Chain A
């Protein structure tokens, strides 16, 4: 410090510790004046740990061996790092004087009554579990139980409805004669008529004719598998011949399709739903179908890796229905190991 003048106090702007302004007197009296920042000493362990993590992430894509080696590196360096950090903490704790009560020595009462009937505790045991410790543990424990009883059902209600009861009944798309062979039809329907127009979905439906005496349909879901925008048919839409059928307000519009394109980010698909350009990560999602009483019904949705061939003879790599942007095949699919329920 600079030499002290004859004045009683002066002020110091302490830029390092928060620019507090404090008088010299305060400073001298202050008990918790930290002169050194409590920073951990420099160490190489975090760098090794980071390299290990990087190896794990690379290994997830490249090879399991690399991931295992990375995990080993991360574990070893993580252990060393933690050991390094906690070296100061792991000193033996200072002995704490606990609340203790001496046992009354009242001679030996009859074994069936009085304290002698209670379990005998040594003074050490009583010292180790004093009443205050028990009471604070009981308060915290009871609080945790009450909190849990309230929180668990509330959290469940917040999360579970999104994942349950998601199955929708099959949609009646109307009589088969509305689907001439080889022609794409834009079929829009209300997924849930109670909810209304916000649940309107669009399928591109093409009748592929009969394959071994069984009907064959290509049913492409219109949502882009990049990020879920509505894919549009590139071609002539015959809006004048639109028909409305069924209870779910199904609108059927014939269309001449050359290919499909998404207006948001330029994804392009051919008439089998395979990606031809742009950012989509797989082929367009499809739906199963069934024919009952001469009517076409829309079934479960599924996701598609790639379609080989075309029309009725197409060979489709089929996966569980998943979110847009999620890879279903190739190494990137390893990033999405758990299928979403519902």
Chain B
């Protein structure tokens, strides 16, 4: 590779400089490029596998929900008289509306399912243990907020299913001891579900809850980067024990003998 780099034509070098200039400009003034590189190319244990991708999958599902949700909000009308008609228009009349609404609707289930799978992975790998307890707690909050998103979003189609499912859901909240009836009345915006309920649920669904989720995802990722990724329980590197460092043997062929060993170890 080193010789290939030397053989670059002047034109190619010019081109690379032109591409790199804005990147360097940004990096010099913000450090963002280095930060993103640090995030993307940070070291992880060598025996991570597909199970470790569930968190990113959940994040992707959330991003799909956020983007499709913003676009649905272009056309949705949170008003008791027109909510149902606007959903019908999105589904039947507007070009590709059926697809985006379908993505949002089914994506909601995918998001919840992935959250549970991710949670199961973390639980079964013991990845919630010291020093990652706080990240587990943030994850539980995210799960609760995700479920709240599901609950508030379910009312928005404003059909019979949506209406009565929400009546039942709110009244389940209402059976909580002491403050349950207050919570139910707050969610309904009055003694029964009415015009205020729809607006309240829409606002919570597209502003308050996603905002909270985004903030917590930021914290969640920060802690993942700060604390690193756990090895699976079957990892030969037993938890809490330092792995014996790879000492190059006399013939300097350690890297060939143990292909799994980290690069850089045979740099002497």
Q: A interface vs B, CB < 8 Å? A: 1-3, 5-8, 10-21, 24, 37, 39, 159, 161-163, 166, 191-192, 195-196, 198-199, 201, 227-230, 264, 321-326, 335-338, 340, 342
A10–B191 CA distance with the chains assembled, in angstroms: 68
Stretch binding the partner chain, chosen from B3-11, B108-116, B164-172? B164-172
Are the CB atoms of B245 and A24 closer together than 8 Å? yes
The answer to the question of B215 belonging to the interface, with a C-beta cut-off of 8 Å to chain A, is no
Chain A residue nearest in CB terms to B172: A227
Q: Which of B67-75, B138-146, B225-233 contacts A (4 or more CB under 8 A)?
A: B225-233
Bound CA–CA A241/B192 (angstroms): 29
Residues of B within 8 A of A322 (CB): 181
Q: State whether B237 touches A15 (Cβ < 8 A).
A: yes
With A7-B248, A324-B174, A326-B181: A19-B195 Cβ-Cβ less than 8 Å = no
* Complex interface: chain A residues within 8 A of B238 (CB): 15
Task: Determine which of B178, B184, B228, B245 lies in contact with A12 in the assembled complex, contact meaning CB atoms within 8 Å.
Answer: B245
Shortest CB distance B184–A (Å)? 5
Q: B265 contacts which chain A residues (CB < 8 A)? A: 10-11
Q: How far is the CA of A19 from the CA of B248 in the complex (A)?
A: 22
Main secondary structure of the interface of B (DSSP, over half): loop
30 interchain pairs, CB-CB under 8 A: A1-B245, A2-B244, A5-B268, A7-B248, A7-B268, A10-B265, A11-B246, A11-B265, A12-B242, A13-B231, A13-B262, A14-B242, A15-B239, A15-B243, A18-B226, A20-B43, A21-B43, A161-B189, A162-B189, A162-B190, A195-B195, A199-B194, A201-B192, A228-B168, A229-B167, A326-B174, A335-B178, A336-B180, A337-B178, A340-B182
Please count how many residues in chain B sit with their CB below 8 Å of the partner chain's CB atoms. Answer: 58
Residues of A close to B182: CB separation below 8 A: 163, 338, 340
Residue of B nearest to A57 (CB): B177
Interface residues of B in 181-239 (CB under 8 A from A): 181-182, 184-186, 188-196, 226-231, 235, 237-239
Partner of A196, one of B80, B193, B230: B80
The verdict on B63 contacting chain A, using a C-beta distance below 8 Å, is no
- Given the known interface contacts A323-B181, A326-B180, A326-B181, the answer about A162 and B186 at a Cβ–Cβ threshold of 8 Å is yes
Say whether A18 contacts B228, CB under 8 Å: yes
Contacts of B177 in A (CB 8 A): 335-336
